A = this chain, B = another copy of it.
Amino acid sequence: MASQIRISLDAMGGDHGPEVVLPGAEIALERRPDIRYALYGDEAKINEILAHHPKLKAVSEVHHCTVSVKMDDKPSQALRNGRYYSSMWRAIEAVKTGDADVAVSAGNTGALMAMSRFCLRTMANIERPAIAAIWPTLKGESIVLDMGATIGADAQQLIDYAILGGAMARALFGIKKPSVGLLNIGVEEVKGLEEVRTAGRLLREADLSSLSYAGFVEGDDLGKGTVDVVVTEGFSGNIALKAAEGTAKQISQYLRSAMSRSWVAKLGYLLAKRAFHQLREKMDPSKVNGGVFLGLNGVVIKSHGGTDAEGFASAVELAYGMVRNELLEKISQDLVFYHRSGFQDRIDNEKVESQKAGNQ
C-alpha cells in the first residue's frame, strides 16, 4: 500500500467547476494530509484559484485539458467530443495508467459512467458496473446499489451487485460480514420479481463467507437501516433515492414554514436552534455525497453536480477511504471465492433448468 493516496480530479466537473472542486479538495486535504492530487482541466483557471490555496498547490500537479464535458451532454456526445482530451476522461485515464489510485468527478453521471466503462472496462466475471450510494439511516449508514447505472437486472447481475456492495461495506464500515438484503415489494399477491426471488434463493444457498444474506427488504427498510447493503436494479434504486431525497426536502420546507408562522414559534426556534442544526446536519446531503462506481477495473467516485466545497470534500474523503481500505482488492478476493465455490455453476444449471421448464 502506498503511503500517499493519489487522487485525480476532474476540476471542470459540476455546476461550479474548479471554484467548488479546488476549495473542496483543500478541505479534504486538511483532514487527510497524505493525499496527493492530479488536477485535470483548464490550466489558467486552475492556477488562478490555486494561487489562493498554497497548501493545495503544494500537493497538486496540474494537467491542462482543452475540452470539458458539459453537464447536459449526452453520454454519446461526451464520448464523441471528450474521449482522450476532456478533463473527465483524463482523470479516469490516470486511474487506468496507475498515475492515480482513484478519480473523482462532479460531472454528469451518464457521461462519467460511459467514459469509465469505456476506459477502465468491467472486471472479469462482472457483466455490468453499478452505482452505489451511501444512504443515511436511523442506525448510521447503509450502501444501496444500483442507483441507475443500468435498468433492469437478472438474478446473476443482482448477485454480482450483492458481492460488490458487500465488499464496499467491508471497506467503508469495517464490518467483517455485512448483511445484504434484496429490495422487494411486500404485496403478497405478486410476490416479487422472479429474478429477485431466484437471486435470493441462490444467495441463501451459497452461504458466502464475505456477506450474510438477510432476505428481502422493503422500501421503508432503507431509512431504518435494516441491512448494511440493499441490492436492487437501477430503475427502482434511482427512483427510491430521489423519492427519499424529495421527501426530506419537502419536510424541511414544511418545518421552515411552520417555525416562522408566529412569533412564539420563532422564539421556540431560536431556543431549539442547536437541535435544528443537528437535524440539518443529519439531513444534509453533502455529508453523504458521493456515488461509487463498482465493478470496473478502478474506482471512480461521482460527486453531486450541484454540491458545495464541503460536499465535494466528502466525495474526496470517500475516494480516499475506498483506496485506503482496499476496496478493489476486497472485490477481487470475493469474486475469486465466489467462483471457486461453484456458485457460478449452480446459477448456470439454474438457467438451463428454467429454460427447459420454459420450453415444456
Contacts and interface: CB of A to CB of B under 8 A. Distances in A.
A223 B242 CA distance: 10
Contacts of A190: 110, 148-151, 234
Interface in A93-112: 108-111
A188 B234 CA distance: 13
Contact of A251 (B74, B152, B283): B283
Nearest to A226: B246
> Taking each of A74, A108, A152, A243, which has the highest tally of chain B beta carbons within 10 Å of its own beta carbon?
A243
A238 interface: yes
A179 to B, nearest CB: 17
Number of copies: 2
Contacts of A235: 185, 193, 236
A265 B258 contact: no
> Taking each of A108, A224, A236, A239, which has the highest tally of chain B beta carbons within 10 Å of its own beta carbon?
A239
Contacts of A269: 268, 272
Contacts of A224: 246, 250
A206 interface: no
A116 B273 CA distance: 51
A183 B243 CA distance: 11
A290 to B, nearest CB: 16
Nearest to A190: B151
Interface string A234-274: 11101111111111111101110011011011011111111
A343 B279 CA distance: 51
Contacts of A221: 246
A19 to B, nearest CB: 24
Interface string A101-142: 000000011110110000000000000000000001110000
Contact of A220 (B137, B151, B188, B242): B242
A189 B241 contact: no
B247 A275 contact: no
A219 B192 contact: no
A334 to B, nearest CB: 26
> Taking each of A109, A248, A250, which has the highest tally of chain B beta carbons within 10 Å of its own beta carbon?
A250
A232 B239 contact: yes
Contacts of A192: 151
Given A188-B111, A254-B279, A249 B223 contact: yes
17 contacts: A109-B189, A137-B250, A151-B185, A185-B239, A186-B238, A220-B245, A220-B246, A220-B249, A221-B246, A223-B243, A223-B246, A236-B236, A258-B275, A258-B282, A261-B278, A265-B275, A269-B272
